[in-house]
Homo-oligomer: A and B are copies of this chain.
Amino acid sequence: MTTLDPDRLLPADPGTRAVARELYAAVAEAPILSPHGHVPAGLLLEDRPFGDPAELFITRDHYVTRLLHAHGVGLPALGVGSGADPREVWRIFAEHADSFAGTASAYWIRDELATVFGIEETVDAASADRIHDEIAARLAEPAFRPRALFDRFRIEVLATTDDPLDDLAAHAALRADPAFRGRVLPTFRPDRYLDPDAIGFPDAVDRLLGETGERERFDGYLRALQQRREHFLAHGAVSLDIGVAEPWTLDLDSAEASALFDRVRAGDAGPADRRAFRGHMLLQMARMSVEDGLVMTLHAGVLRNHSSATLAAYGPDTGHDIPVATEYTRGLRPLLERYGLEPGFHLVLFAVDETVYSRELAPLAGFYPSVFIGAPWWFLDAPDAIQRWRSAITETAGFFRTSGFIDDTRAFLSIPARHDAARRADSGFLARSVREGRIDLPTAERIARALVDDVPRRTFKLGGPR
């Protein structure tokens, strides 16, 4: 492949492609709204040059390390939990180019190399060193520092993901910095405070109660969480995000909930109690969102750290989080019975189980004003998967009950490639609708524009463009 195909991801049928090209042109250069992701605020505050190409593209990207691991490469050889030679790491990746063909990662990386670095050459064993050095040379240039790229990428909003006890000093400093005009928002991520089975749960609750000065009782604990949400709101947060294995909620009266909290704190809670606590805390988070307006996003259905040996040796986020079947209709009912009709409440549901798209998510979001269908997530954030998602939900819920694309990435450099891929995929889907006489072209163009602008703005309460 010598040059990046300008029509990439657009449908092959020439008539459909012509329409898709037109729709894509209308959104290709639109600013990026990234209301959910994992880039730290410090990256932009410090604005240091990025590290070497291997670290940037491989070592820290568990989408990439996982597939190399599957092909028999040990994680230490990729620099995970070790100090591998970056040039060697890059070579390993280059030698496995065919193993990545067809994957989302391969698509993004090729796009990044071409559009961010101007490198069109195919990465393979022969070109590995040359490309490595070319990237490295660029990374040393001022134009490749985080802030410069932030501007070049036309990022209007970038949300980070933060611990509730984070002081958000980096966010405050960034906002106070007259030299940086981007909008970087914190996101409240309370998983380890809500789930008794989370690593570090007892300590997290201790610290939360300690730092907020609240009493060791359920009402105090709730106030402590509320305090921290207010801290986030004061720093510009628009949403909180929760990751759960199952989207299951439970309504309890305050006496039951208090007693349950006490059992959980005393270590007397069995699996059913711990599940009940998790389920009730989701409901409490929804209640607080009704009160304080934070958009609640739920990422459900991933069993984290499937390989205990890998977790022990290399820590979490090392490529072995595996989805499970999920159920929303009954599981979210207690929460929706209570808060589903509350004006202003936003609950965005992200799934890695495709079966729920047409069966549960579109019907729920097609009735409850509070429910939004999250964009395809994680393993499903890829061109074909996006087509399947649109096909599964649109006939029931249309385009305007969706979240807008989120990149959910730790890889700052992949942000434009990911958003661009989503724009292309959506243009293709809309073009097919036009060619099949289902949507007229002006409407399709309005929708294409809305999907990268009004839709995420409204779902995430981002406000209008500045």
A interface with B by C-beta (< 8 Å) = 1, 4-5, 7-16, 66-67, 69-72, 97-104, 106-107, 122, 303, 306-310, 319-325, 327, 329-330, 333, 336-337, 340-341, 343, 352-355, 358-360, 362-369, 371, 379-380, 382-385, 388, 391-392, 394-401, 432-433, 435-440, 443-444, 446-447, 450
Inter-chain contact B439/A102, CB cutoff 8 Å: yes
Residue of B nearest to A103 (CB): B398
CB distance from A268 to the nearest CB of B (A): 26
Residue of B nearest to A357 (CB): B354
Distance in angstroms between the alpha carbons of A449 and B1 in the assembled complex: 18
Inter-chain contact A395/B399, CB cutoff 8 Å: no
Partner of A379, one of B103, B310, B362: B362
Partner of A363, one of B98, B107, B379, B432: B379
Distance in angstroms between the alpha carbons of A401 and B337 in the assembled complex: 40
What are 22 A-B interface contacts by the 8 Å CB criterion?
A: A5-B437, A11-B12, A12-B436, A14-B15, A67-B367, A70-B365, A70-B368, A71-B401, A101-B447, A104-B395, A122-B440, A303-B329, A306-B329, A308-B337, A323-B360, A325-B355, A353-B359, A355-B359, A358-B380, A358-B385, A359-B379, A379-B395
Inter-chain contact A306/B13, CB cutoff 8 Å: no
Q: 6 extra interchain contacts, Cβ-Cβ under 8 A, other than A69-B369, A354-B358, A358-B380?
A: A66-B366, A67-B367, A102-B433, A306-B333, A322-B329, A379-B396
Distance in angstroms between the alpha carbons of A45 and B446 in the assembled complex: 45
A5: chain B residues within 8 A (beta carbon): 437
Inter-chain contact B388/A438, CB cutoff 8 Å: no
Inter-chain contact B72/A369, CB cutoff 8 Å: yes
A397: chain B residues within 8 A (beta carbon): 67, 70, 103
